[in-house]
Structure 1
Amino acid sequence: MSDEPDEAPEFSVPVGMFEDIEDLKAQLAQLTTLVKTLTGGDGAEPGEASADDAAADGEAAEEDEWQYPPFILLLDPPEYDDELRALIEWVEGVLVPGYLAEPSADARWCHLWVEHSVAVARLHAVWLAWQELTDPASCGYTGPSVWHRDHLDPALRELRGSSGPFAGCTKGEHQIEHRLPALVPSAWRMSGN
């Protein structure tokens, strides 16, 4: 008589489990890279860095700062202006044409969103997440799904909701003539270039 069962048991896998596993893999890869960076990756004990390593880390930190910009509301001009210009380009080039339908009482949008600091802050946060989560090298292939679920959808609900920053920005209710999202003015004209 054999110790093996006659039939293989059936396993039920939760729907989101594979996304969670991919998210964990991406986080583990990021942490592994961070540990290697912080420890020098040469088997040295943590905290045992040479003066050369410290200088290299200072240079790497400067590069990382430009590669991963800080939150826009923490910037001063001219860095703020440069970051806002890049954000406007992303909102007009990706977000508006791809995700925003015609504004309505239930889904508001202001073509002058740059004048709403809450909108600038939320959209910048969504953009930073988009930059990270659309790179398979840093987040795996589930990054875009995570970005939609955890960043875009909640931000748009807050921005476009009846109590969001665009609450007074529907057609006819605001002093400034509003346009459909497809007709948002160019980032270059708005910045004065």
Structure 2
Amino acid sequence: MADEPDEVPKLDVPVGMFEDIEDLKAQIAALTAQVNRLTEHAAGAEGEASADDEQEGEEAEDEPDAEDEWQYPPFILLLDSPQYDEELRALIEWVEGVLVPGYLAEPSADARWCHLWFEHPVAIARLHALWLAWQELTDPATCGYTGPSVWHRDHLDPCMRELRPSAGPFAGCTKGEHQIAHRLPGTVPSAWRQADG
């Protein structure tokens, strides 16, 4: 054939491009899953609307069910008690069960950590965001096999760089001592209040 070249040219592909392609595949898979969920939800909503039309004279409920109100976990600082208490308890379990033993080295002057991290609102906010990302990016069904790598690179490392430096939110906290007065969040888990009483 006259149209085909005699020799196939060699392509120099940068090493990082393969990681970018895998990240894009994972993002497309996550978006596809989200579109499918939203499409199913919209189809269910249309069916509910036609059922409401048949029931003339009855008013539709103004407020959605508690289950339908949040399709995904909300950001913790937007919650009020008791939802805040429950979310904080779950976050503490993840931080103390996964993050601390698996990722945190011994605290030092350059890598601070406070064992009362849940009394620092900025730590609660950052660690909760980190946990939400972990929940999404460790599910191969939504993010493929590159999710954990993306979580480490895009979420864990930046979060630790913000929380653990010597000038970060744990700056006044030293091993075994607290040199600052911790500011408690507006609500604390009810189990803690009972234990104090």
Q: Provide TM-score, normalisation by structure 1.
A: 0.75
Residue 85 in 1 paired to residue 82 in 2?
no
For the residues of structure 1 that align with 2:84 and 2:157, how far apart are their CA atoms?
Answer: 25
Structure 1 residue 133: Cα displacement: 0.3
Residue identity in the other structure for 1:14: P
Residue identity in the other structure for 1:15: V
RMSD, aligned α-carbons: 3.4
Point out the more displaced range, 119-128 or 10-19: 10-19
Map residues 1-193 of structure 1 onto 2, 5 A cutoff. Answer: 3-40=3-40, 49-50=46-47, 51-52=49-50, 62=67, 65=70, 68-171=72-175, 174-175=178-179
For the residues of structure 2 that align with 1:5 and 1:149, how far apart are their CA atoms?
Answer: 41
Q: Is the 8 A contact 2:172 2:179 kept in 1?
A: no
For the residues of structure 2 that align with 1:128 and 1:64, how far apart are their CA atoms?
Answer: 18
Q: Is the 8 A contact 2:112 2:165 kept in 1?
A: yes
The superposition leaves residues 89-136 of structure 1 with CA deviations (integer Å, 9 ceiling, x where unpaired) of 101111001111111000000001011110011000000000000001
Taking a change above 3 Å as real, the CA distance of residues 175 and 63 of structure 1, as seen in their structure-2 partners, is: same
> Could you list the runs of 5+ residues in structure 1 that have no partner in the other structure?
177-186
Structure 1 residue 11: Cα displacement: 1.5
Residue identity in the other structure for 1:10: K
For the residues of structure 2 that align with 1:64 and 1:41, how far apart are their CA atoms?
Answer: 13
The superposition leaves residues 133-157 of structure 1 with CA deviations (integer Å, 9 ceiling, x where unpaired) of 0001111111111101111000001
For the residues of structure 2 that align with 1:173 and 1:86, how far apart are their CA atoms?
Answer: 26
Query: What fraction of aligned residue pairs are identical, expressed as a percent?
Result: 75
> Could you list the runs of 5+ residues in structure 2 that have no partner in the other structure?
53-59, 181-188
